[in-house]
Amino acid sequence: MPSSPPCNENRLNCTPSEVLAATMIPSCGELVNPANLQAEQLVFDQAFNDLINNFGLPVDYYINTFNLSAADLLYGTDFGSSTTSQFQGPLTGVQMYIELSDDALALTKFGFDPGDEFTAFVHISTFATAASAYFDYASVGQSIEPKAGDVIDLKVLGCDRPNGRGSVKYEITERMDQDLSVLNPVLGHYIYRLRGKRFNYSFESGLSGAKTASAVDAIDVDGYIAGGGDNQFSFTIPVSAGGSGTQISIFLDISAGGSLTAGTNQIAISAANETDAAVAANITKAINGITSSRITYGNSSGDGYAGVGVKGINASQGSSDTQITLQMDKAGVTGNATNVIALSTGAVNLVDVTSFTGGQSVDPVSEPVNEQIYDNSFSGILSTTLASQLTSDGKTYPTVEDPYDIDDSSQNDVFNMDVNDTDIYGSYY
């Protein structure tokens, strides 16, 4: 049993008058000094976490990968890179306490504007743990925290909506960690308060109306350390699903505690003196391409390399801290890949699911399962599944392969009188 802490003699010698007149004897005061409130802060931290877990909702969280150093500073655009979409996600199962305000639509000079707003509370350390294992924030110059521009999908509220309607997405507009009257009892920092508005989908890369295939709780590390042996399993993600078609192996060395030597198309993880949960966290990082002192990437570029991980899929914590759920990066039916996760070699079989399922194609132009206003609709006309409902023609949007060039657009689409009907009054085509 731990020994009793020593008594605070100064406090014992303080009289009531000395406590109330602390300027005379400072050691007798400082009743709200955060350094003196560690135990109280721990109580509030756990209480907030319990409240969010018990009364919150699991959401799908999309990380906006906007990189200031890579962006066009004139136009403020950053369409990502060949390996990173504008949005990375979803990070599934993020628990948040949600408050919604579903107001009526407002008519503005730009058309109808959905007035839906949301407020959410998420535990600081819980979010940081899940997000750091899912995405390499340092690669895009970001801190590991929610931010304006990230998108939250209330998937749990869209599973049984009538007439095939999908869930609603919200874009974060404000993140606060400090509000003394609400967020910071006994001067501690425990939760983020997030505020946002309904997100209007405009074909941003990484966000799609299509459903993404997944392998729920595909990897389960429970019992691995007790099994006492090395282990290896592999992924072969087809090119059609966004992978390279090359088999990438994950090798676990139970006797190594530091960096390893990894072979070609292999990612090696040292597992000595670890728990099953810690090994699962490192596997998640390896699949997502995140670097660690215990992870060694065998390839020098592309699939199986740091920053990429296993190309075409992403990993997040599953139903427990020893289980890992996998999702395809590419949405739609092409992600429904069969037998692409190979069974383990080792004393403990870590692979419970070998295939990805649930991918569905949804036309992103008409966005039929999500009744949101977006910029592909006429003013005042909702995108809809209703028969004979009027919607606008589809627009084209920039991609990594076909980026938007403002100079070409201005010259060819606006100011070139030989190819269009542009006039001084601003008419188009």
Q: What is the pTM of this model?
A: 0.66
pLDDT tens column, 231-275: 999 999 999 998 999 999 999 999 988 778 899 999 999 999 999
Which of 344, 358, 357, 335 is closest to 220 using CA atoms? 344
Q: Is residue 374 part of a domain?
A: no
Of 146, 164, 198, the last residue of a domain is 198
pLDDT tens column, 356-375: 998 877 544 334 444 444 44
Q: Is residue 371 part of a domain?
A: no
Q: Is residue 387 part of a domain?
A: no
pLDDT tens column, 22-40: 556 666 666 677 777 888 8
pLDDT tens column, 48-67: 999 999 999 999 999 998 87
Same domain, 148 and 234: no
Beta-bridged to residue 295, according to DSSP, are: 269
DSSP state of 319: S
Q: For residue 227, how far is the Cα from the chain centroid? A: 32
The region that residue 93 occupies, defined by phi over 0 for left and psi between -120 and 50 for alpha, beta otherwise, is: left
pLDDT tens column, 267-322: 999 999 999 999 999 999 999 999 999 999 999 999 999 989 999 999 999 999 99
Same domain, 304 and 339: yes
Q: Is the dihedral of CA 171, 281, 308, 329 positive or negative?
A: negative
Q: Are 234 and 249 in contact (CB under 8 A)?
A: yes
Which H helix or E strand runs over 194?
Answer: strand 191-198
Range of the structural domain that residue 308 is part of:
214-346
Q: Is residue 3 part of a domain?
A: no
Which of 48, 67, 91, 39 is closest to 177 using CA atoms? 48
Same domain, 191 and 295: no
Of 316, 346, 376, the last residue of a domain is 346
Same domain, 187 and 84: yes
- CA-to-CA distance for 262 and 220, rounded, in angstroms? 22
Q: How confident is the model over 3-32, as a mean pLDDT? A: 61
User: In the chain, how many domains are there?
Assistant: 2
Q: Give residue 277's pLDDT.
A: 95
Same domain, 70 and 180: yes
Same domain, 60 and 170: yes
Q: Are 346 and 234 in contact (CB under 8 A)?
A: no
Which of 89, 87, 67 is closest to 78 using CA atoms? 67
